[in-house]
Structure 1
Amino acid sequence: MEAATSASRVPAVVHPAVMSDPWFMLAVLGVYLYFVTVVGPQFMEFRKAYKLKKLIMAHNLIQVVSCLYVLKEVFFITDNAVQYFWECRDFGKSQEHVRRHFELAHFLFWLKLSELIETVIFVLRRKQNQVSKLHIFHHITTVTLVYVLLHFNENGTAAYFCVFLNSIVHICMYTYYFVAAVADKDFVRSLRPIKKCITVMQMTQFAFILTQVVFQLVLCGIPAFALCYYTGVIAAMFYGFYDFYQTSYQKNKRHKSLTTPN
Protein backbone atom coordinates (compact mmCIF):
# COMPACT_ATOMS: atom_id res chain seq x y z
CA MET A 1 0.00 0.00 0.00
CA GLU A 2 1.40 3.37 -1.03
CA ALA A 3 0.10 6.88 -0.70
CA ALA A 4 -0.95 8.59 -3.89
CA THR A 5 1.55 11.17 -5.06
CA SER A 6 -0.54 13.49 -7.20
CA ALA A 7 -0.92 17.25 -7.16
CA SER A 8 -1.55 19.15 -3.96
CA ARG A 9 -5.16 19.82 -4.87
CA VAL A 10 -5.83 16.09 -4.75
CA PRO A 11 -6.46 14.72 -1.24
CA ALA A 12 -3.87 12.21 -0.03
CA VAL A 13 -5.21 8.69 -0.34
CA VAL A 14 -3.80 5.20 0.06
CA HIS A 15 -4.46 3.01 -2.97
CA PRO A 16 -4.46 -0.79 -2.87
CA ALA A 17 -1.01 -2.15 -3.78
CA VAL A 18 -2.10 -3.38 -7.24
CA MET A 19 -3.26 0.16 -8.11
CA SER A 20 -0.38 2.12 -6.60
CA ASP A 21 1.76 1.66 -9.71
CA PRO A 22 0.92 0.59 -13.30
CA TRP A 23 2.74 -2.76 -13.34
CA PHE A 24 -0.17 -4.98 -12.29
CA MET A 25 -2.47 -3.27 -14.80
CA LEU A 26 0.09 -3.55 -17.59
CA ALA A 27 0.70 -7.23 -16.80
CA VAL A 28 -3.02 -8.04 -16.93
CA LEU A 29 -3.49 -6.10 -20.16
CA GLY A 30 -0.44 -7.80 -21.68
CA VAL A 31 -1.76 -11.28 -20.84
CA TYR A 32 -5.21 -10.27 -22.13
CA LEU A 33 -3.82 -8.99 -25.43
CA TYR A 34 -1.62 -12.06 -25.94
CA PHE A 35 -4.48 -14.45 -25.18
CA VAL A 36 -7.17 -12.87 -27.36
CA THR A 37 -4.88 -12.36 -30.37
CA VAL A 38 -2.50 -15.35 -30.22
CA VAL A 39 -2.99 -18.08 -27.62
CA GLY A 40 -6.80 -18.12 -27.63
CA PRO A 41 -7.30 -18.40 -31.41
CA GLN A 42 -4.59 -21.08 -31.60
CA PHE A 43 -6.22 -23.02 -28.74
CA MET A 44 -9.65 -22.88 -30.42
CA GLU A 45 -8.44 -23.58 -33.96
CA PHE A 46 -9.37 -27.28 -33.91
CA ARG A 47 -11.95 -27.21 -31.12
CA LYS A 48 -15.70 -26.77 -31.11
CA ALA A 49 -17.00 -23.44 -29.88
CA TYR A 50 -17.92 -23.33 -26.21
CA LYS A 51 -21.51 -22.21 -25.54
CA LEU A 52 -20.84 -20.51 -22.17
CA LYS A 53 -24.46 -19.38 -21.88
CA LYS A 54 -24.48 -19.28 -18.07
CA LEU A 55 -21.21 -17.35 -17.98
CA ILE A 56 -22.54 -14.86 -20.53
CA MET A 57 -25.73 -14.34 -18.55
CA ALA A 58 -23.84 -13.91 -15.27
CA HIS A 59 -21.32 -11.53 -16.82
CA ASN A 60 -23.99 -9.32 -18.39
CA LEU A 61 -26.10 -9.26 -15.24
CA ILE A 62 -23.09 -8.36 -13.08
CA GLN A 63 -22.23 -5.51 -15.44
CA VAL A 64 -25.76 -4.08 -15.30
CA VAL A 65 -25.96 -4.26 -11.50
CA SER A 66 -22.46 -2.80 -11.17
CA CYS A 67 -23.31 0.14 -13.44
CA LEU A 68 -26.46 0.86 -11.42
CA TYR A 69 -24.28 0.96 -8.30
CA VAL A 70 -21.83 3.28 -10.08
CA LEU A 71 -24.65 5.67 -10.99
CA LYS A 72 -25.85 5.73 -7.39
CA GLU A 73 -22.37 6.60 -6.15
CA VAL A 74 -21.80 9.22 -8.84
CA PHE A 75 -25.02 11.02 -7.87
CA PHE A 76 -23.93 11.03 -4.21
CA ILE A 77 -20.36 12.18 -4.91
CA THR A 78 -21.52 15.01 -7.19
CA ASP A 79 -24.49 16.02 -5.00
CA ASN A 80 -26.85 15.09 -7.85
CA ALA A 81 -25.20 17.66 -10.13
CA VAL A 82 -23.15 15.43 -12.42
CA GLN A 83 -25.09 16.70 -15.44
CA TYR A 84 -23.55 20.17 -15.03
CA PHE A 85 -20.42 19.01 -16.81
CA TRP A 86 -19.06 22.54 -17.43
CA GLU A 87 -18.67 23.31 -13.71
CA CYS A 88 -15.34 23.06 -11.89
CA ARG A 89 -15.73 20.77 -8.89
CA ASP A 90 -13.51 19.92 -5.94
CA PHE A 91 -13.34 16.49 -4.35
CA GLY A 92 -16.33 16.97 -2.08
CA LYS A 93 -17.51 19.04 0.81
CA SER A 94 -16.98 16.28 3.38
CA GLN A 95 -14.57 13.47 4.18
CA GLU A 96 -17.35 11.05 3.25
CA HIS A 97 -17.44 12.48 -0.27
CA VAL A 98 -13.67 12.13 -0.61
CA ARG A 99 -13.69 8.57 0.72
CA ARG A 100 -16.47 7.44 -1.63
CA HIS A 101 -14.86 9.28 -4.53
CA PHE A 102 -11.79 7.07 -4.32
CA GLU A 103 -13.71 3.93 -3.33
CA LEU A 104 -15.69 4.30 -6.53
CA ALA A 105 -12.49 4.79 -8.54
CA HIS A 106 -11.10 1.58 -7.02
CA PHE A 107 -14.35 -0.23 -7.87
CA LEU A 108 -14.19 1.05 -11.44
CA PHE A 109 -10.67 -0.32 -11.80
CA TRP A 110 -11.88 -3.86 -11.08
CA LEU A 111 -15.06 -3.36 -13.08
CA LYS A 112 -13.14 -2.36 -16.20
CA LEU A 113 -10.79 -5.32 -15.75
CA SER A 114 -13.83 -7.61 -15.49
CA GLU A 115 -15.06 -6.32 -18.87
CA LEU A 116 -12.05 -8.00 -20.47
CA ILE A 117 -13.90 -11.28 -19.94
CA GLU A 118 -16.18 -10.28 -22.82
CA THR A 119 -13.34 -10.66 -25.33
CA VAL A 120 -12.26 -13.98 -23.81
CA ILE A 121 -15.83 -15.22 -24.30
CA PHE A 122 -15.72 -14.18 -27.97
CA VAL A 123 -12.53 -16.19 -28.46
CA LEU A 124 -13.82 -19.30 -26.69
CA ARG A 125 -17.03 -19.15 -28.73
CA ARG A 126 -14.99 -18.94 -31.95
CA LYS A 127 -16.29 -15.47 -32.74
CA GLN A 128 -12.87 -14.06 -33.56
CA ASN A 129 -14.43 -11.65 -36.06
CA GLN A 130 -15.83 -9.74 -33.08
CA VAL A 131 -12.35 -9.32 -31.60
CA SER A 132 -11.71 -6.22 -33.70
CA LYS A 133 -8.97 -3.64 -33.21
CA LEU A 134 -11.64 -1.20 -32.00
CA HIS A 135 -12.96 -3.72 -29.48
CA ILE A 136 -9.50 -4.42 -28.04
CA PHE A 137 -8.51 -0.74 -28.05
CA HIS A 138 -11.72 0.19 -26.26
CA HIS A 139 -11.27 -2.36 -23.48
CA ILE A 140 -7.58 -1.69 -22.91
CA THR A 141 -7.82 2.09 -22.87
CA THR A 142 -10.83 2.21 -20.53
CA VAL A 143 -8.73 0.39 -17.92
CA THR A 144 -5.89 2.88 -18.37
CA LEU A 145 -8.31 5.82 -18.12
CA VAL A 146 -9.40 4.62 -14.69
CA TYR A 147 -5.73 4.51 -13.70
CA VAL A 148 -5.41 8.12 -14.89
CA LEU A 149 -8.52 8.96 -12.83
CA LEU A 150 -6.85 7.48 -9.74
CA HIS A 151 -3.48 9.17 -10.07
CA PHE A 152 -3.73 12.25 -12.28
CA ASN A 153 -7.21 13.67 -11.73
CA GLU A 154 -7.16 17.30 -10.55
CA ASN A 155 -10.69 18.15 -11.68
CA GLY A 156 -12.46 16.63 -8.72
CA THR A 157 -15.84 15.05 -9.22
CA ALA A 158 -16.19 16.60 -12.69
CA ALA A 159 -14.14 13.63 -13.88
CA TYR A 160 -17.10 11.38 -13.14
CA PHE A 161 -19.22 12.88 -15.92
CA CYS A 162 -17.73 10.42 -18.41
CA VAL A 163 -18.32 7.58 -15.92
CA PHE A 164 -21.94 8.71 -15.61
CA LEU A 165 -22.49 8.61 -19.38
CA ASN A 166 -20.60 5.35 -19.85
CA SER A 167 -22.62 3.63 -17.12
CA ILE A 168 -25.90 4.58 -18.81
CA VAL A 169 -24.66 3.22 -22.14
CA HIS A 170 -23.43 0.01 -20.52
CA ILE A 171 -26.72 -0.57 -18.69
CA CYS A 172 -28.51 -0.46 -22.05
CA MET A 173 -25.84 -2.50 -23.82
CA TYR A 174 -25.45 -5.30 -21.28
CA THR A 175 -29.21 -5.51 -20.77
CA TYR A 176 -29.50 -6.09 -24.51
CA TYR A 177 -26.77 -8.73 -24.37
CA PHE A 178 -28.48 -10.45 -21.45
CA VAL A 179 -31.84 -10.57 -23.26
CA ALA A 180 -30.11 -11.79 -26.44
CA ALA A 181 -28.53 -14.62 -24.43
CA VAL A 182 -31.83 -15.91 -23.01
CA ALA A 183 -34.40 -15.10 -25.71
CA ASP A 184 -35.24 -17.20 -28.75
CA LYS A 185 -33.68 -16.38 -32.13
CA ASP A 186 -36.79 -14.77 -33.64
CA PHE A 187 -37.13 -12.36 -30.72
CA VAL A 188 -33.42 -11.53 -30.83
CA ARG A 189 -33.71 -10.83 -34.56
CA SER A 190 -36.47 -8.32 -33.84
CA LEU A 191 -34.15 -6.51 -31.43
CA ARG A 192 -31.40 -5.90 -34.00
CA PRO A 193 -32.27 -2.20 -34.45
CA ILE A 194 -31.32 -1.74 -30.79
CA LYS A 195 -27.70 -2.58 -31.64
CA LYS A 196 -27.65 0.40 -33.99
CA CYS A 197 -29.12 2.63 -31.28
CA ILE A 198 -26.45 1.49 -28.81
CA THR A 199 -23.71 2.43 -31.29
CA VAL A 200 -25.31 5.88 -31.68
CA MET A 201 -25.45 6.20 -27.88
CA GLN A 202 -21.75 5.39 -27.68
CA MET A 203 -20.85 8.04 -30.25
CA THR A 204 -23.09 10.55 -28.48
CA GLN A 205 -21.39 9.95 -25.14
CA PHE A 206 -17.96 10.53 -26.71
CA ALA A 207 -19.21 13.77 -28.27
CA PHE A 208 -20.45 14.98 -24.86
CA ILE A 209 -17.19 13.96 -23.20
CA LEU A 210 -15.12 15.88 -25.75
CA THR A 211 -17.39 18.88 -25.21
CA GLN A 212 -16.75 18.66 -21.47
CA VAL A 213 -12.99 18.58 -22.11
CA VAL A 214 -13.24 21.97 -23.84
CA PHE A 215 -15.19 23.50 -20.95
CA GLN A 216 -12.89 22.01 -18.32
CA LEU A 217 -9.79 23.17 -20.19
CA VAL A 218 -11.03 26.74 -20.56
CA LEU A 219 -12.72 27.17 -17.19
CA CYS A 220 -10.88 24.81 -14.87
CA GLY A 221 -7.57 23.77 -16.36
CA ILE A 222 -6.49 20.18 -16.96
CA PRO A 223 -3.02 18.69 -16.37
CA ALA A 224 -1.22 18.42 -19.71
CA PHE A 225 -0.59 14.66 -19.56
CA ALA A 226 -4.16 13.83 -18.55
CA LEU A 227 -5.54 16.22 -21.18
CA CYS A 228 -3.51 14.80 -24.08
CA TYR A 229 -4.01 11.15 -23.21
CA TYR A 230 -7.68 11.40 -22.26
CA THR A 231 -8.62 13.54 -25.27
CA GLY A 232 -6.64 11.34 -27.66
CA VAL A 233 -8.30 8.16 -26.41
CA ILE A 234 -11.83 9.59 -26.52
CA ALA A 235 -11.31 11.09 -29.98
CA ALA A 236 -9.95 7.78 -31.27
CA MET A 237 -12.95 5.93 -29.80
CA PHE A 238 -15.38 8.37 -31.39
CA TYR A 239 -13.74 7.90 -34.78
CA GLY A 240 -13.63 4.12 -34.35
CA PHE A 241 -17.30 3.84 -33.47
CA TYR A 242 -18.23 6.28 -36.23
CA ASP A 243 -16.31 4.18 -38.75
CA PHE A 244 -17.97 1.03 -37.38
CA TYR A 245 -21.39 2.71 -37.72
CA GLN A 246 -20.71 3.71 -41.31
CA THR A 247 -19.39 0.26 -42.23
CA SER A 248 -22.01 -1.82 -40.43
CA TYR A 249 -25.17 0.22 -40.92
CA GLN A 250 -24.91 2.94 -43.54
CA LYS A 251 -23.17 0.80 -46.19
CA ASN A 252 -25.60 -2.07 -45.56
CA LYS A 253 -28.49 0.36 -45.90
CA ARG A 254 -27.15 1.68 -49.22
CA HIS A 255 -26.52 -1.88 -50.42
CA LYS A 256 -30.12 -2.87 -49.66
CA SER A 257 -31.47 0.20 -51.46
CA LEU A 258 -29.43 -0.69 -54.56
CA THR A 259 -30.49 -4.34 -54.59
CA THR A 260 -34.18 -3.76 -53.85
CA PRO A 261 -36.21 -4.05 -57.08
CA ASN A 262 -38.36 -1.09 -58.14
Structure 2
Amino acid sequence: MAFNSTLTSRAVLLYDEWIKEGDPRTENWLLMATPFPQTFIVSAYIYFVTFLGPRLMENRKPFDLKRPMVIYNFSIVAFSIYLIYEFLMSGWATGYTFRCDLVDYSSSPQALRMAWTCWLYYFSKFIEMLDTIFFVLRKKNSQVTFLHVFHHSIMPFTWWFGVRFAAGGLGTFHALLNCIVHVIMYTYYALSALGPAYQKYLWWKKYMTTIQLVQFVLVTVHIGQYFFLKDCPYQFPVFVYIIGSYGLIFLVLFLNFYYHAYTKGKRLPKVFQNGNYLHKKSE
Protein backbone atom coordinates (compact mmCIF):
# COMPACT_ATOMS: atom_id res chain seq x y z
CA MET A 1 0.00 0.00 0.00
CA ALA A 2 2.83 2.36 0.90
CA PHE A 3 4.50 1.67 -2.45
CA ASN A 4 1.28 2.38 -4.34
CA SER A 5 0.74 5.58 -2.38
CA THR A 6 4.29 6.75 -3.12
CA LEU A 7 3.92 5.90 -6.82
CA THR A 8 0.63 7.80 -7.02
CA SER A 9 2.09 10.83 -5.23
CA ARG A 10 5.05 10.84 -7.60
CA ALA A 11 2.77 10.60 -10.63
CA VAL A 12 0.69 13.53 -9.34
CA LEU A 13 3.82 15.62 -8.78
CA LEU A 14 5.12 14.82 -12.26
CA TYR A 15 1.76 15.74 -13.76
CA ASP A 16 1.69 19.03 -11.84
CA GLU A 17 5.19 19.92 -13.02
CA TRP A 18 4.35 18.96 -16.59
CA ILE A 19 1.08 20.93 -16.76
CA LYS A 20 2.85 24.04 -15.42
CA GLU A 21 4.80 24.18 -18.69
CA GLY A 22 1.55 24.74 -20.56
CA ASP A 23 0.59 27.98 -22.27
CA PRO A 24 -1.09 30.21 -19.63
CA ARG A 25 -3.10 31.93 -22.38
CA THR A 26 -5.10 28.77 -23.12
CA GLU A 27 -5.34 27.06 -19.73
CA ASN A 28 -8.82 28.42 -18.92
CA TRP A 29 -10.36 27.79 -22.33
CA LEU A 30 -13.01 25.09 -22.74
CA LEU A 31 -11.55 21.55 -22.31
CA MET A 32 -8.03 22.92 -21.88
CA ALA A 33 -7.47 22.68 -18.11
CA THR A 34 -6.72 18.95 -18.17
CA PRO A 35 -6.82 16.17 -20.80
CA PHE A 36 -9.32 14.12 -18.77
CA PRO A 37 -12.65 15.55 -20.09
CA GLN A 38 -11.62 14.90 -23.68
CA THR A 39 -10.43 11.42 -22.70
CA PHE A 40 -13.96 10.69 -21.52
CA ILE A 41 -15.49 12.12 -24.71
CA VAL A 42 -13.18 10.13 -27.00
CA SER A 43 -13.71 6.94 -24.99
CA ALA A 44 -17.50 7.40 -25.18
CA TYR A 45 -17.20 7.99 -28.93
CA ILE A 46 -15.20 4.79 -29.48
CA TYR A 47 -17.59 2.77 -27.31
CA PHE A 48 -20.65 4.08 -29.14
CA VAL A 49 -19.44 3.67 -32.73
CA THR A 50 -17.84 0.25 -32.22
CA PHE A 51 -20.27 -1.42 -29.82
CA LEU A 52 -23.28 0.40 -28.37
CA GLY A 53 -24.46 2.12 -31.55
CA PRO A 54 -24.39 -0.95 -33.83
CA ARG A 55 -26.07 -3.00 -31.09
CA LEU A 56 -28.89 -0.43 -30.67
CA MET A 57 -29.38 -0.25 -34.45
CA GLU A 58 -29.24 -4.01 -35.01
CA ASN A 59 -33.03 -4.49 -35.11
CA ARG A 60 -33.94 -1.00 -36.23
CA LYS A 61 -34.36 0.55 -39.65
CA PRO A 62 -31.64 2.98 -40.76
CA PHE A 63 -32.40 6.61 -40.00
CA ASP A 64 -33.07 8.90 -42.94
CA LEU A 65 -30.54 11.66 -42.28
CA LYS A 66 -30.35 13.23 -45.71
CA ARG A 67 -31.24 16.77 -44.64
CA PRO A 68 -29.12 16.80 -41.44
CA MET A 69 -26.16 15.43 -43.41
CA VAL A 70 -26.45 18.07 -46.12
CA ILE A 71 -26.59 20.84 -43.50
CA TYR A 72 -23.77 19.28 -41.49
CA ASN A 73 -21.42 18.79 -44.44
CA PHE A 74 -21.93 22.26 -45.89
CA SER A 75 -21.45 23.69 -42.38
CA ILE A 76 -18.08 21.92 -42.11
CA VAL A 77 -17.12 23.35 -45.51
CA ALA A 78 -17.97 26.88 -44.35
CA PHE A 79 -16.17 26.42 -41.03
CA SER A 80 -13.08 25.01 -42.79
CA ILE A 81 -12.95 28.01 -45.13
CA TYR A 82 -13.13 30.29 -42.08
CA LEU A 83 -10.29 28.36 -40.38
CA ILE A 84 -8.14 28.58 -43.53
CA TYR A 85 -8.60 32.35 -43.50
CA GLU A 86 -7.73 32.59 -39.80
CA PHE A 87 -4.63 30.39 -40.10
CA LEU A 88 -3.44 32.51 -43.03
CA MET A 89 -4.13 35.84 -41.36
CA SER A 90 -2.61 34.84 -38.02
CA GLY A 91 0.67 33.60 -39.46
CA TRP A 92 0.88 31.56 -42.63
CA ALA A 93 0.23 34.51 -44.96
CA THR A 94 1.49 37.24 -42.64
CA GLY A 95 5.06 36.39 -41.73
CA TYR A 96 5.58 32.65 -41.43
CA THR A 97 8.47 31.35 -43.53
CA PHE A 98 7.27 27.73 -43.96
CA ARG A 99 10.56 26.67 -42.40
CA CYS A 100 11.49 27.28 -38.75
CA ASP A 101 8.43 29.13 -37.50
CA LEU A 102 8.41 29.45 -33.72
CA VAL A 103 5.42 29.69 -31.39
CA ASP A 104 4.65 33.28 -30.39
CA TYR A 105 3.63 33.10 -26.72
CA SER A 106 3.04 36.82 -26.41
CA SER A 107 -0.34 38.45 -25.89
CA SER A 108 -0.16 40.38 -29.14
CA PRO A 109 -3.39 40.40 -31.18
CA GLN A 110 -1.87 38.19 -33.88
CA ALA A 111 -0.41 35.66 -31.42
CA LEU A 112 -3.74 35.39 -29.60
CA ARG A 113 -5.53 35.07 -32.92
CA MET A 114 -3.35 32.10 -33.85
CA ALA A 115 -3.89 30.47 -30.43
CA TRP A 116 -7.67 30.90 -30.72
CA THR A 117 -7.64 29.51 -34.26
CA CYS A 118 -5.77 26.47 -32.98
CA TRP A 119 -8.42 25.97 -30.31
CA LEU A 120 -11.22 26.27 -32.89
CA TYR A 121 -9.49 23.66 -35.02
CA TYR A 122 -9.13 21.41 -31.96
CA PHE A 123 -12.82 21.79 -31.10
CA SER A 124 -13.81 20.99 -34.69
CA LYS A 125 -12.36 17.50 -34.19
CA PHE A 126 -15.20 16.73 -31.77
CA ILE A 127 -17.80 18.03 -34.22
CA GLU A 128 -16.36 15.79 -36.93
CA MET A 129 -17.05 12.72 -34.80
CA LEU A 130 -20.57 13.06 -36.19
CA ASP A 131 -19.18 11.53 -39.39
CA THR A 132 -19.01 8.15 -37.70
CA ILE A 133 -22.22 8.58 -35.73
CA PHE A 134 -24.07 9.21 -39.00
CA PHE A 135 -22.58 5.97 -40.37
CA VAL A 136 -23.85 4.04 -37.36
CA LEU A 137 -27.34 5.56 -37.39
CA ARG A 138 -27.63 4.85 -41.12
CA LYS A 139 -26.33 1.28 -40.57
CA LYS A 140 -23.31 1.86 -42.81
CA ASN A 141 -21.15 -0.19 -40.47
CA SER A 142 -18.76 -1.25 -43.23
CA GLN A 143 -17.57 2.36 -43.36
CA VAL A 144 -16.68 2.39 -39.65
CA THR A 145 -13.15 1.17 -40.38
CA PHE A 146 -10.10 1.13 -38.13
CA LEU A 147 -8.59 3.96 -40.18
CA HIS A 148 -11.72 6.09 -39.78
CA VAL A 149 -12.14 5.58 -36.02
CA PHE A 150 -8.41 5.87 -35.32
CA HIS A 151 -8.25 9.18 -37.18
CA HIS A 152 -11.22 10.71 -35.34
CA SER A 153 -9.95 9.44 -31.98
CA ILE A 154 -6.32 10.48 -32.19
CA MET A 155 -6.79 14.01 -33.53
CA PRO A 156 -8.40 15.51 -30.38
CA PHE A 157 -5.63 14.00 -28.24
CA THR A 158 -2.75 15.33 -30.30
CA TRP A 159 -4.37 18.73 -30.69
CA TRP A 160 -5.10 19.11 -26.99
CA PHE A 161 -1.35 19.00 -26.41
CA GLY A 162 -0.79 21.34 -29.33
CA VAL A 163 -3.18 24.02 -28.04
CA ARG A 164 -2.09 23.60 -24.43
CA PHE A 165 1.64 23.80 -25.10
CA ALA A 166 2.37 25.08 -28.62
CA ALA A 167 -0.51 27.03 -30.17
CA GLY A 168 1.22 28.31 -33.28
CA GLY A 169 4.42 27.98 -35.24
CA LEU A 170 5.45 25.24 -37.63
CA GLY A 171 3.25 22.67 -35.87
CA THR A 172 0.11 24.26 -37.33
CA PHE A 173 1.00 23.77 -41.00
CA HIS A 174 -0.72 20.39 -41.15
CA ALA A 175 -3.90 21.96 -39.71
CA LEU A 176 -3.97 24.52 -42.52
CA LEU A 177 -3.56 21.75 -45.10
CA ASN A 178 -6.19 19.62 -43.40
CA CYS A 179 -8.72 22.46 -43.58
CA ILE A 180 -8.06 22.85 -47.31
CA VAL A 181 -8.61 19.11 -47.81
CA HIS A 182 -11.79 19.26 -45.74
CA VAL A 183 -13.28 21.92 -48.00
CA ILE A 184 -12.94 19.48 -50.91
CA MET A 185 -13.91 16.37 -48.97
CA TYR A 186 -17.01 17.70 -47.22
CA THR A 187 -18.20 19.36 -50.42
CA TYR A 188 -18.18 15.87 -51.92
CA TYR A 189 -20.06 14.45 -48.92
CA ALA A 190 -22.67 17.24 -49.12
CA LEU A 191 -23.29 16.73 -52.84
CA SER A 192 -23.42 12.97 -52.34
CA ALA A 193 -26.01 13.38 -49.58
CA LEU A 194 -28.24 15.38 -51.94
CA GLY A 195 -29.06 12.18 -53.82
CA PRO A 196 -28.68 10.42 -57.20
CA ALA A 197 -29.39 13.57 -59.22
CA TYR A 198 -26.01 14.94 -58.16
CA GLN A 199 -23.93 11.81 -58.82
CA LYS A 200 -22.83 13.09 -62.22
CA TYR A 201 -20.96 15.87 -60.42
CA LEU A 202 -18.98 13.41 -58.29
CA TRP A 203 -16.63 12.06 -60.96
CA TRP A 204 -13.69 13.27 -58.86
CA LYS A 205 -14.34 10.89 -55.96
CA LYS A 206 -11.23 8.80 -56.57
CA TYR A 207 -9.02 11.87 -56.51
CA MET A 208 -10.05 12.71 -52.93
CA THR A 209 -7.87 9.89 -51.64
CA THR A 210 -5.03 11.13 -53.85
CA ILE A 211 -5.46 14.63 -52.38
CA GLN A 212 -5.28 13.16 -48.89
CA LEU A 213 -2.11 11.29 -49.81
CA VAL A 214 -0.56 14.50 -51.14
CA GLN A 215 -1.55 16.17 -47.86
CA PHE A 216 0.36 13.63 -45.78
CA VAL A 217 3.41 13.83 -48.06
CA LEU A 218 3.47 17.62 -47.68
CA VAL A 219 3.02 17.35 -43.91
CA THR A 220 5.90 14.88 -43.64
CA VAL A 221 8.20 16.92 -45.91
CA HIS A 222 7.43 20.19 -44.13
CA ILE A 223 7.97 18.86 -40.62
CA GLY A 224 10.99 16.84 -41.77
CA GLN A 225 12.81 20.08 -42.57
CA TYR A 226 13.39 20.46 -38.85
CA PHE A 227 16.02 17.71 -38.86
CA PHE A 228 18.03 19.46 -41.57
CA LEU A 229 17.91 23.03 -40.28
CA LYS A 230 21.14 24.11 -38.61
CA ASP A 231 19.47 26.31 -36.03
CA CYS A 232 15.77 25.96 -35.23
CA PRO A 233 14.96 26.61 -31.55
CA TYR A 234 11.38 25.34 -31.80
CA GLN A 235 10.08 25.33 -28.25
CA PHE A 236 8.59 21.80 -28.12
CA PRO A 237 10.57 19.48 -30.43
CA VAL A 238 8.46 16.53 -29.23
CA PHE A 239 5.64 17.83 -31.43
CA VAL A 240 7.92 17.55 -34.46
CA TYR A 241 8.18 13.82 -33.79
CA ILE A 242 4.45 13.50 -33.14
CA ILE A 243 3.49 15.34 -36.33
CA GLY A 244 6.11 13.47 -38.34
CA SER A 245 4.83 10.15 -37.01
CA TYR A 246 1.26 11.25 -37.72
CA GLY A 247 2.14 12.10 -41.32
CA LEU A 248 3.94 8.82 -41.94
CA ILE A 249 1.36 6.61 -40.20
CA PHE A 250 -1.56 8.11 -42.09
CA LEU A 251 0.38 8.07 -45.34
CA VAL A 252 0.87 4.32 -44.94
CA LEU A 253 -2.74 3.74 -43.86
CA PHE A 254 -4.16 5.76 -46.76
CA LEU A 255 -1.81 4.07 -49.24
CA ASN A 256 -3.10 0.74 -47.98
CA PHE A 257 -6.69 1.97 -48.33
CA TYR A 258 -6.00 3.30 -51.82
CA TYR A 259 -4.46 0.03 -52.93
CA HIS A 260 -7.33 -2.15 -51.70
CA ALA A 261 -10.10 0.27 -52.66
CA TYR A 262 -9.05 1.48 -56.07
CA THR A 263 -6.31 -0.66 -57.61
CA LYS A 264 -8.83 -3.24 -58.76
CA GLY A 265 -11.59 -0.72 -59.25
CA LYS A 266 -13.60 -1.96 -56.28
CA ARG A 267 -14.66 1.53 -55.19
CA LEU A 268 -14.73 3.33 -58.51
CA PRO A 269 -18.00 5.19 -58.96
CA LYS A 270 -20.36 3.34 -61.30
CA VAL A 271 -20.25 6.36 -63.55
CA PHE A 272 -16.86 5.05 -64.67
CA GLN A 273 -17.42 1.32 -64.56
CA ASN A 274 -17.65 -0.29 -67.99
CA GLY A 275 -17.59 3.17 -69.55
CA ASN A 276 -21.27 3.72 -68.76
CA TYR A 277 -22.72 6.83 -67.14
CA LEU A 278 -24.86 5.20 -64.48
CA HIS A 279 -26.32 6.67 -61.35
CA LYS A 280 -25.21 5.48 -57.95
CA LYS A 281 -27.09 5.90 -54.70
CA SER A 282 -25.49 8.14 -52.15
CA GLU A 283 -23.13 6.38 -49.81
Structure 2 residue corresponding to 1:187, chosen from 198, 216, 227: 198
TM-score by length of 1: 0.85
1:199 to 1:221, Cα distance in 2 relative to 1, 3 A:
farther
Matches within 5 A, 1:1-262: 5-6=20-21, 12-78=25-91, 80=93, 84-91=97-104, 95-153=108-166, 156-182=168-194, 184-185=195-196, 187-188=198-199, 190-219=200-229, 220=232, 223-252=236-265
Take 1:164 and 1:83, find their aligned partners in 2: how far apart are those partners? 13
More helix as a share of residues: 1
> Which digits, 9 at most, give the CA deviation of each residue in 1:121-170, with x for residues without a partner?
0000000000000000111112122112112328x432221111101100
Evaluate the alpha carbon distance shift between residue 197 and residue 59 of structure 1 in structure 2; reply closer, same or farther with a 3 A threshold: same
Checking the alignment, whether the CA contact within 8 Å between 1:77 and 1:92 is kept in structure 2 is no
Q: CA deviation at 1:179?
A: 1.1
1:84-124 deviation per Cα after TM superposition (whole angstroms, max 9, x unaligned)? 42242342887101211121122112211000011000000
Aligned counterparts of 1:119 and 1:196: Cα–Cα separation in 2: 20
Task: Indicate the percent of aligned positions where both proteins have the same amino acid.
Answer: 27
Superposition RMSD on alpha carbons, in Å?
A: 2.6
The 3 A distance-change label for structure 1 pair 179 and 232 is same
Distance 1:82 1:180 in 2: 38
Q: Which deviations, in whole Å up to 9, do the C-alpha atoms of 1:192-213 show, x marking residues without a partner?
A: 5422111111110110111111
Alpha-carbon distance in structure 1 between the residues aligned to 2:141 and 2:233 = 42
Aligned residue-pair number? 249
**1:77/1:157 contact within 8 Å kept:** no
Unaligned runs of 5+ in 2: 1-18, 269-273, 275-283
State TM-score, norm by structure 2.
0.79
1:250 CA displacement: 1.0
8 A contact 1:83–1:161 mirrored in 2:
no
Tell me how far apart the structure 2 counterparts of residues 143 and 50 of structure 1 sit (CA, whole Å): 27
Partners of 1:231 and 1:107 lie apart in 2 by 22
Structure 1: runs of 5+ lacking an equivalent = none
Structure 1's 46 and 13: CA in aligned 2 closer, same or farther, altered over 3 A? closer
